[in-house]
Structure 1
Amino acid sequence: MASNRSRSTGESIIWRRRNIYRRRYSYYDNIFREIRHYQRTTNSLVPKAAIVRVIKSILPQHIRIQRSAVEALQESVEVYIVQFLSDSDLCTFNAKRRTLMTKDMLLTRRIRGRADIINK
């Protein structure tokens, strides 16, 4: 009898410990974990098919483009998007908000001026 009781209580203690000591992550912990994950990876953030579609819609039909040129364009697009969003995020923090809004992006374009490639 004693061995059965200890066995059943031992199992329940282990089960309780697993549930009691389970760490709950806050919303911001998950965000920062995702940021660190994307900073460590080297693969592209924008899908290649989407970039190819945009390039084909801009270029005339008879022009072909090499794979290495597509990869270079994709890399430059990603760098530009990341820099633009980080600058827009600074405008958001300056406005004492946590949500990125359209007006932050417009302000970023205005601050960058005519020299920015998107404003030409």
Structure 2
Amino acid sequence: MPRARNTGSRSPARGAGPGRAGTPGRGQGTPAGRGQGTPAGRGQGAPADRGQGARGRGPIAGPSNDGQQQQARAPRRRRFRPGTRALMEIRKFQKSTKLLLRKLPFARVVREVCQDVGGVDFRWQAYAIMALQEAAEAFLVGLMEDANLIALHAKRVTIMPKDVQLARRIRGPEKGFASL
């Protein structure tokens, strides 16, 4: 027989009955600490029922004797469902116009590649590195968009190396930097 939901009104049929004396106890069909008897703080509620919230989850407020235990317990971080955080980050990055890569690590990579290719330590203007970074990020974002479309066409949501390779191959030697 299904149990009726507690709507908050206290009718005499719920509170009184054979074998009930105000608040339900442990062995009487309801879980302990549910708080279905008289409201906490009024009447003759059991001492365990006093100081508990509407659902019996614990004390509502007030000073605690074990203050050290509360300080040690950090507030819990909010957990998002899988995929929600990724969508939030996508929206955040689509709104912004700032660069995605940090400037100093990118400049180091540019100088390292230049050293490996030319063998000479070139000097770079800040605007030249910034222009190179803008172009590199635009290329990579476009490549990832194409790879994402290829993955979706294959009924996947994860981009794999073969998606990036196919995107570069379809783009051609000029737009995809032919040497792979």
The alignment's TM-score, normalised by the length of structure 2, stands at 0.53
Q: Which residue does the alignment assign to 1:8?
A: 51
Seq. identity, %: 33
- Of 103, 108, 113, which residue of structure 2 is paired with 1:48? 103
Deviation at 1:105, TM superposition (A): 0.8
Larger RCO, structure (CA 8 Å, separation 6 or more)? 1
Task: Give the 5 Å matches for 1:52-91.
Answer: 52-59=107-114, 60=118, 61-91=120-150
Residue 101 of structure 1 aligns with an amino acid whose one-letter code is: M
- Of Structure 1 and Structure 2, the greater helix share is in 1
Residue 2 of structure 1 aligns with an amino acid whose one-letter code is: R
Deviation at 1:71, TM superposition (A): 1.0
Q: What SS is found at the alignment partner of 1:8?
A: coil
Q: Does 1:39 align with 2:94?
A: yes
Name structure 1 gaps, 5 residues minimum.
17-22
Larger Rg: 2
Q: What SS is found at the alignment partner of 1:89?
A: helix
| Contact 2:169 2:176 (8 Å CA) reproduced | no
Name structure 2 gaps, 5 residues minimum.
1-40, 58-77
Residues paired across the two proteins, number: 111
Deviations 1:83-105 (A, max 9, x none): 10010010000111111111111
| Change beyond 3 A, Cα 1:78–1:15 | farther
| Change beyond 3 A, Cα 1:7–1:44 | farther
| Change beyond 3 A, Cα 1:64–1:33 | same
The alignment's TM-score, normalised by the length of structure 1, stands at 0.76
Q: Which residue does the alignment assign to 1:19?
A: none
Deviations 1:47-85 (A, max 9, x none): 212221222123343421111111111111111111100
CA distance in 1, matches of 2:163, 2:95: 27
